[in-house]
Amino acid sequence: MRLMNPQIRDFARLREEFRWPAPANYNIAHEVCCRHQQHAGRTALYYENETGAAKKFTFGDIHRLSNRLANALTALGITHGDRVGIILPQRPEAALAHLAAYKKNAVALPLSVLFGPDALRYRLQDSGAKLVFTDSAHAEMVHSLAGELPQLKTVVDCDSEFDSLMQKSSEQFTPPVTPPDAPALLIYTSGTTGPPKGALIAHRCLLGNLPGFELSHNFFPQDGDLFWTPADWAWTGGLLDALLPTWNYGVPVLGYEGGKFDPERACQLLKKYRVRNAFLPPTALKMMRQVSGNLRADHGVELRSVMSAGETLGAGLFHWGRESLGLDINEMWAQTEFNYIVGNCAAIMPVRPGSIGKPYPGHRVAPLSAEGEVLPAGETGELCAHRDDPVLFLQYWNREQATREKFFGAGNAWFGTGDMGCCDEDGYLWFVGRKDDVISSAGYRIGPGEIEDTLLKHPAVAHAAVVGVPDELRGNVVKAFIVPAAGHAPSEELKEEIRQSVRTRLAAYEYPREIEFLGKLPMTTTGKVRRAELRRRESRPN
């Protein structure tokens, strides 16, 4: 069932008329799996790995297999509230582990396959995970940490132990009653200071995601829709922005276990499976832009909708998407703690390149001053979301003080995201940068996003990141780190050409006074530029 009425083609009216459903019970596994059994033969998952091996699963298959796994969890001693680690790429066992945990009212703990031993140790220790599903490539690493993880009782290697575990279990399982506020997920998210914090997320978060999901994919679902994202299911982007909301509507998902993102392989997959909808982070889009030719005309990519989030999309990528994909990319803005709350819907509202869009129906978002006052149009403040919202996280795991510090304003009614932005006269929101990313230079407050977007319009620039570096005269100056595009060699002449390009397009005070060419930019495991690492490079003594 849709929450958005496709007959209403006015965004403001959709917001005005929207009311949240208020179910007494709400379980993610029921919403995305159990209730689709009247269409049990409908395809739920197409799976392929890098060798080309492929499988297909129906919603009936997913229901029966997740029931078996839920019973296996019972046999392994997993009870209500226990944390279940999942260290797996986009493969069927990862999805089944999530559903089984939800059916048990356990808490799924998704963990990236890119994590090393220190990252895994911290998250498994802090969460007190009792069981871990993983593959043979990571099972040895987890076993090596066992002496430091007293609460971890079981490690299941899905390459060698999963099938036998399933064969011992019944297909019949009766899930317990689940209140909407019951914990479902524990996702660790890195902040600007201190170690990562575990965001504890309720089952109701799926419901909170749906208005934005439907609109960012231009009234999802429609006949023939099929979804794919390269974002790992270990992250909010892959899990709550792709897999789970797609299955909520009984629509198939493509899962691809292929390691490092390959833009040409991505195009092949999009064509082969006739993918119609995708979440493609800006980093992936930048790489796909390097593929020669028009993706629609020359590579057979026929997407109906694309949502992009995680980093600023920028006007350059937006216009490339219009030319090469034949559609307007709908940028979305969110955080793990407060997901899918602002974005675009090109089907019914003009997209303003560079804007993150408007608050989706059911969500209230505004820039606030340091004193907690909503700011007027044109003034930059911290982008905050009102806490009266089903998508809001429950708390930071074992971090009561950190949780309290996120809320401020009258009655502590607003959640501070740490992102800076402003709102224009028409209600569009504009992202400026993280609090610590904003550059103060000679009295000007400069956001890196606009400069990076302008840099990417230069044909010699494949990737770019901008930070402020200390300057005796101006306090800070803008420095750009640039990965040259293929066929362009770093030179002083190219630096000056790029500087002048930004100076003429933006403003004299915004151009990068310093430029450094790199082979690659430091990135997080979710594909975001690690500007903090670039700033640390500049602070180190030569």
As given in the structure block, the two tokens for residue 81 are 């509230």
Q: Residue 192 has what pLDDT?
A: 45
Q: Give the number of domains in the chain.
A: 2
Range of the domain at 535: 439-539
Task: Provide the CATH number for the domain around residue 512.
Answer: 3.30.300.30
**In Å, how far are 19, 44, 224, 246, 359 from 213, measured between CA atoms?**
16, 18, 17, 9, 12
Angle among Cα 172, 174, 176 to the nearest 5 degrees reads: 155
- Which residue shows structure tokens 């009870």? 79
Q: Residue 263 has what pLDDT?
A: 95
As given in the structure block, the two tokens for residue 538 are 């500049």
Residue 157 has φ and ψ, to the nearest 5°, of -85, 110
**In Å, how far are 32, 48, 125, 147, 297 from 83, measured between CA atoms?**
21, 28, 11, 18, 47
Rounded distance, CA 390 to CA 338, Å?
A: 9
Residue 103 located in a structural domain: yes
Angle among Cα 38, 43, 47 to the nearest 5 degrees reads: 145
Residue 446 located in a structural domain: yes
As given in the structure block, the two tokens for residue 270 are 């999009």
As given in the structure block, the two tokens for residue 467 are 């930070």
From 174, 202, 230, the end of a domain falls on: 202
From 202, 234, 261, the end of a domain falls on: 202
Q: Residue 443 has what pLDDT?
A: 54
As given in the structure block, the two tokens for residue 446 are 């400069």
Rounded distance, CA 143 to CA 152, Å?
A: 10
Residue type, 311: E
Task: Show pLDDT as tens, one digit a residue, over the chain (542 residues).
Answer: 799 999 999 999 999 999 999 999 999 999 999 999 999 999 999 999 999 999 999 999 999 999 999 999 999 999 999 999 999 999 999 999 999 999 999 999 999 988 888 889 989 999 999 999 999 999 999 999 999 999 999 999 999 999 999 999 999 999 899 999 999 999 998 654 457 899 999 999 999 999 999 999 999 999 999 999 999 999 999 999 999 999 999 999 999 999 889 999 999 999 999 999 999 998 899 889 999 999 999 999 999 999 999 878 888 899 999 999 999 999 999 999 999 999 999 999 999 998 999 999 999 999 999 999 999 999 999 999 999 999 999 999 999 999 999 999 989 999 999 999 999 999 999 988 777 676 767 655 577 877 888 899 899 999 999 998 887 667 788 999 999 999 999 999 999 999 999 887 776 667 899 999 999 999 876 677 888 889 888 866 55
Residue 50 located in a structural domain: yes
Task: Provide the CATH number for the domain around residue 155.
Answer: 3.40.50.12780
From 202, 235, 268, the end of a domain falls on: 202
Closest listed residue to residue 131, CA positions, set 175, 201, 78, 70: 78
Report how far apart the first and last C-alpha atoms of the chain are (Å, whole number): 60
As given in the structure block, the two tokens for residue 433 are 């940068």
Rounded distance, CA 40 to CA 35, Å?
A: 9
Residue 6 located in a structural domain: no
Closest listed residue to residue 351, CA positions, set 377, 367, 331, 324: 331
Residue 248 located in a structural domain: no
Rounded distance, CA 202 to CA 216, Å?
A: 22
Residue 223 located in a structural domain: no
Residue 376 located in a structural domain: no
Residue 516 located in a structural domain: yes
Q: What residue ranges in 26-178 does DSSP mark as E strands?
A: 43-49, 54-58, 83-87, 107-110, 131-134, 154-157
